[in-house]
């Protein structure tokens, strides 16, 4: 990767952080989240206009930070393309529609019933997340094996499991 690629990623990331910090001063303070750093009010960045999902509404600062991180991750992956960490990510990406549907079903039908609705301490959250990702990764490996054995699945199965 060229130096310009790295510099572009850094510029987007830090420029976005700067804009995000300025935008932060004008954000609505009505949130149920406790401030982690009262002077910085980082908790306002976790909910934008009352929404906690990623895309509601994407601000310029948020978009630049995301673009900067993606560019920097491209550089990181390009320089270390033999890491064994990439294999599970590759497997998950080969059946992304199925993973999307499966993760929704697990969250809606299982996790919402057994995990308390209030905020979890970080240790418990990370444990739940690790178990969740392990289940998804095992399912993806199973699908990968199934796709190797099932050479000509019906179109709908190929569409859902990834072609």
Mean pLDDT for the stretch of residues 31-46: 50
Domain boundaries, the chain: 3-79, 86-161
CA-to-CA distance for 55 and 39, rounded, in angstroms? Answer: 26
pTM beyond 0.85? no
Q: Which two tokens stand for residue 54?
A: 């990623």
4-37 confidence digits (pLDDT tens): 889 999 999 999 888 877 776 665 555 454 444 4
CA-to-CA distance for 27 and 163, rounded, in angstroms? Answer: 43
């Amino acid at each position: 990767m060229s130096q310009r690629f790295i510099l572009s990623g850094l510029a987007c990331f830090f420029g976005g952080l700067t804009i995000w910090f300025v935008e932060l001063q004008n954000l609505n303070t009505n949130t149920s989240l406790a401030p982690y750093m009262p002077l910085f009010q980082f908790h306002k960045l976790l909910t934008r206009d009352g929404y906690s999902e990623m895309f509601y509404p994407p601000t310029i600062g948020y978009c630049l930070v995301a673009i900067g991180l993606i560019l920097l991750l491209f550089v990181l992956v390009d320089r270390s393309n033999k890491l064994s960490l990439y294999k599970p990510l590759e497997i998950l990406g080969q059946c992304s529609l199925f993973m999307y549907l499966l993760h929704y079903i697990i969250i809606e039908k299982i996790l919402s019933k057994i995990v308390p609705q209030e905020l979890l301490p970080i240790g418990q959250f990370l444990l739940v997340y690790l178990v969740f990702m392990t289940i998804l990764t095992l399912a993806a490996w199973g699908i990968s094996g199934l796709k190797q054995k099932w050479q000509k699945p019906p179109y709908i199965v190929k569409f859902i499991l990834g072609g």
